[in-house]
Structure 1
Amino acid sequence: MSLGYGAAIAQMSYMVNCSDPGFVGNAIRQVQQSFPERFIYGMSVLYHCKKGFYLLGSSALTCTANGLWDRSLPKCLAISCGHPGVPANAILTGDVFTFGATVHYSCKGTHRLVGNSTRVCREDSHWSGALPHCTGNNPGFCGDPGTPAHGSRLGDEFKTKSLLRFSCEMGYLLRGSPERTCLLNGSWSGLQPLCEAVSCGNPGTPPNGMIVSSDGILFSSSVVYACWEGYRTSGLMTRLCTANGTWTGTAPDCTVVSCGDPGSLANGVQFGTDFTFNQTVSYQCNPGYIMEPATSATIRCTKDSTWDPSKPVCRAVLCSPPPPVAHGAVEGSDFRWGASISYSCAAGYQLSHPTILSCEGRGVWKGETPQCLPVLCGDPGTPAEGQLAGRSFTYKSEVSFQCRPPFILVGSSRRTCQAGGSWSGVQPTCIDPAHNTCPDPGTPHFGIQNSSRGYEVGSTVFFRCRKGYHVQGPTTRTCLANLTWSGTQTECIPHACRQPETPAHADVRAMDLPSFGYTLVYTCHPGFFLAGGSEHRTCKADMKWTGKSPVCKSKGVGEVNDTVTKTPVPSDVFSVSSVWKGHYEHLGKRQPATLTVDCFNATSSQVNATFAAASPLQMKLAGIYKKEEAHLLLRAFQVRGAAEVFGSKPEKENWGLDGYVSSGLEGGGFTFQGDIRGDNFGKFKLERQGPLSSDQDSSHRHPGTSGGSVAAAILVPFFALILSGFAFYLYKHRTRPKAQYNGYAGHESSNGQASFENPMYDTALKPTEAKAVRFDTALNTVCTVV
């Protein structure tokens, strides 16, 4: 029981009121308090019998803490003097023998009365005066003085000078003269003897008991007791008044019935420590549990030592299975109170809104159930001088393109909306056959463009920024076969760090990364590999760059197997059951931590994981892994034990791990690091434990991947240039009827392979057939951004 609850009980004890105990016939009641009468805890009420009555029971009653009087009401019984006795040859007039009653004596015939002719019953239960007697009829003789009730007489002669002796039975006391002598005047000496019963006095009323019946307080009288309801005794319930003026035995000890401790509830709290008659015990279930039956929250101790009703039980609250979602699945199998679940969608579908349902209350899911809607790829756009056929842009929808004559289509003539929300193939353009150059890509503000090689297909322009500005985006762009520029538009942004020199045989790309800042990312030219330095450098607050300038070395014969490279980050680096160990920062201190992946959806890249630190901290996290950026934001949707570890429970909607995955040297593993979203938290760093599976590693087992990837990335547009030139040659030197040009399509598949399609006329002059040349190259990531 809490201190607050105990204090409340202590305070209540001074406000308890007992009911009015009532009045007793022929008695006067005295109360400690004046009108109006209130019978509060600790107050006593006194009873006094009126004159002519005696008290049987307790004269004082006290109000107890449970609101009951400690004793039963007493009784005021009329005082009785008993039969006064009738001497020989006398006549008694009067048949009432209680207090105040009067009896009269007279003698028969010629007998003369000696003594008081009138006697009165007094308050001490004795008759006034002595019993009179009647004289004899013959001279020299006295009349028969009689024998007292419950007594005996020794001597039968009544003549002058005769002596009589009187005695009483056991339990009676002699009042009057024990010896009497017959006098000459015919009267007896002394007073007429009387045998009065011994009085045992008021037997009293025991606490928590009462007198059921009594026939007085004199010798041979009895009194019968009974305990109140809810009390019992093992002693005798009847007492007798003995000859020596005492009551047999003792007053019974009435003890309250006890039902015993009913016991606490599993997963519940018990209130109440008094387990005696009519007392109650209450129960309350812990959060997450419900009481059955609901009406048994309070039980009461009965007079037969049992609890009524029976003790309840606390049953764990379980939510029914969460509502199903078309084209979706439930993430999580714990449906207990306090648990949370989320939803994921099948490939090609996405959640209408991110939702986490929590099992709350009496077993209901709180939160709005989402829908899995088809992925929307958006309008792919209509190429200039071209047409778009198809107006549905959702998952599995297909659109087609064609150009107005004389323009020819370069790119994919048909594109399909894919599960990832992107269109298959390459966005087509309609180009004039007479043109073979790209438009001016433009010069960024505060930047300089170097286009010494012109804008012809395959040519490259270079960008740099003026002093005080740094490049954000690619430093080079290449004119592609579809007369568009590779990459995105370069920008020049002001920054505190001085722009470092671009190393030989390397390209640099700049970007502002969340939680990291302005970062330069380097890639080696085709035929070169990263032999030293840093693949990425970040501008620090002190206006200095992290890491060292990269060194790109040429791949000579026999150097391929000696190349030092970094393992690209696989798309399933967060595979199921993978374990990441490391540390996190809280209040400026590093603490050990472990991240275990519980679920990974290869299609949607959904990651569900458990973040565990010092016991009993455990957090359930969920997020989408962006493999293109190697970025993962895991948000908490279930937090347990945080208050014990952190001192307070963080807001689960705002707490999360926001970081990037980087690769170490080949065979060196992967690191997931970044910032923790939440007050008083800093950074985290976790390293993947154990190697990847053989299937996962197979695509990365070739040494020299970095240089080879760059070489393939450059060779692809080179071959595309050759094919495009050959197409233009056929177009300008055609001498036979031409089939409609179906265009060029370059499809970049998920495994990084590129295929090129170009129409070729066969000997049978079939205008709609085309041959395809396919180049299989492994386009793997060179340097990972972290």
Structure 2
Amino acid sequence: MHSDEGVTKTFTCARPLIGQHVFLQLVGVEGSLSLCEVEVFTTEEFSNDRCAPASAPADIELAAFSRNCYEFNVAKGGSFEEARKQCQNHGGDLIHGFQVVPPTCGSPDKLLNTTIEGKDYRVGASIDYRCPQGHMLAGTKSRACLKDGFWSGVAPSCKYVDCGGISPIQDGEVSLVDGRTTHGARALYSCKENYTLVGEAARECGDQGTWGGEAPKCLFDWCPEPPPVTGGMVSVSGRTAGSLATYTCQNGFILFGSPSVTCTLGGSWAGTPPSCKYVDCGTPAIVHKGSFRLLNGTTTYGSVVQFTCEPDYWLAGSEELTCNRDGKWSHDMPSCELITCADPEVPAGGYMEAFDYNVHSTIDFHCERGHKLVGEASLMCEIRCPDPVVPENSIVSVTGNDRMHGRTLIRTSGTTHSGSTYRIGALVKYRCERGYKVVGESLSTCEDNGQWGGMTPKCQCVHLAASMHDMAIPDGLFSHLNYGSPRLRAYTLYCNFSFRIIPDVDCEITCPDPSIQIKGSVGLLVATSTLSIGGEAHYRCERGYSIKGNQTRTCLKKGQWNGAPPVCIPIDCKSPGTIDNGRIIIANSSTHFGSSIEYHCLPQFTRVGPFLRKCADDGHWSGEEPSCELATNEAAESGTLPLSVGVGCGVVLFLLMLLGVIYLRL
């Protein structure tokens, strides 16, 4: 306003000037306005003498306007109530018995360097103050036009803040955004190749003229070759920070300790490398009447030894032993025992002669006087095989047996054991019911040791395909009947057409695909080994979720999964609470996994601890909780020293001058 001195200005008042005595209040920057003259015009003017109140002072300034008297007082600005009281003391009032609601608050005041955003000065509106770049706003940013016609609060000010230059970091660089160091400026840090930044990558010039946070560090992130291990091998996923070096042991060695170490910032492998211990179970003991064979030619860890017996001896114990990690074989050493027959039953009225009951031995039966022998007079102890195992859905037939025990046997999985025995060389043949096929060897022979050779096969379900010819078949020519397995249907085609089997029901009972059941379930994943009976479905959650419920379900015989599918619950770190002398900003208003929170301290307080914390997998906020500590005013303390020195020097100089004056007078 100083540059407009002498120019007439028109101001918009917050309310009409109604009353006999008017108090004019101008709000603005102190000293920026010189009110020299107020002109009042009226067409119905009458003498000012009629407006003078009793005992009015001589220097009173009066005016008449529209048959109303006005008294002008120039004083320091005050409130509406103070203006009204001034008028009432002089026998008048601001109003004549009715309330006037101001429509606006008039022009708002502002201080140096501030800029007002908004031109709506009506009641209920608000304005904002803005500072130029490099300045800090001190005070309230926004003000509102109240119902009484006054702006709320006081006008803020703008303070120039400069944080000064920022120090570089070792093995890294720092750059200033926009090339300035004043309030709100940002400094960005970066590291050289093979170095990783640890700490905050950006710092900001704060209200106190200092750079926020702490300077980060650049740590070397390239690791050398991992340490070697005797008897072991190592493979690395990389050489940068976060890479893994995984150890494995050579044949015959066992790994002790953690199998991997991690490349960390600073260029070193974290963790202790494992060790590989040589394990040898030693040569197995010689078995009487038997022998062994090392299947892989060694006796170290993982080696397998197989035992066999001489003819007429059977193996008591495990046929195969494995070398364990403790340097011992997995089972006790077997033994070869001479095959013997059970004690024979002596018929009544007779007796028996035998030397022993060993294999190939013979026993003779005799009758006492008056009795006649019926049956074989001599029996020999022979090696025979027991009833063969009958798999489910199979048909087993045995051929080549002697007449005495039945030359041929046909059994299914539904029949009971016959208790028969079979001579060496007897042959068992495995077949399967309709809809199934043999998996494994279909033939097995009774061996010299009294055991069926090989492994017992299984019957596996197969999917039969319809064998239909390319022909048009009239409706109603098929007749349904049950045939064979209850899971299959057979159809007879009349009119001289051939007979076919067309299955319409799958012979194998399976459970539904569990991935279909969990459609719509957020974060839930499932993997299945098989959908057949006994198969397992393994559930897990995506990162950021915790699983609740059964993690494994099994396919039951009725074709249903046991239990119910689990659910995935989002990991929630909950509200971090509050921080004394500061505030916490929750990014995106989320406290779930991966979200972050920022810590800000009030002016004159410094943050001790991290600026940013994130919600981790364990449901807790990462790092330690920071605190806002009162900042030490080192600059103020250091500034008192020059002041003290200056005052001391001034006192000494004054004393010297005083002594000089005294000396001259003497």
When the two structures are superposed, what TM-score results if normalisation uses the length of structure 2? 0.26
Ranked by relative contact order (alpha carbons within 8 Å, sequence separation 6 or more), the top structure is 1
Compare CA radii of gyration and give the structure with the larger one.
Answer: 1
Higher strand content, 1 or 2 = 1
TM-score (normalised: structure 1): 0.23
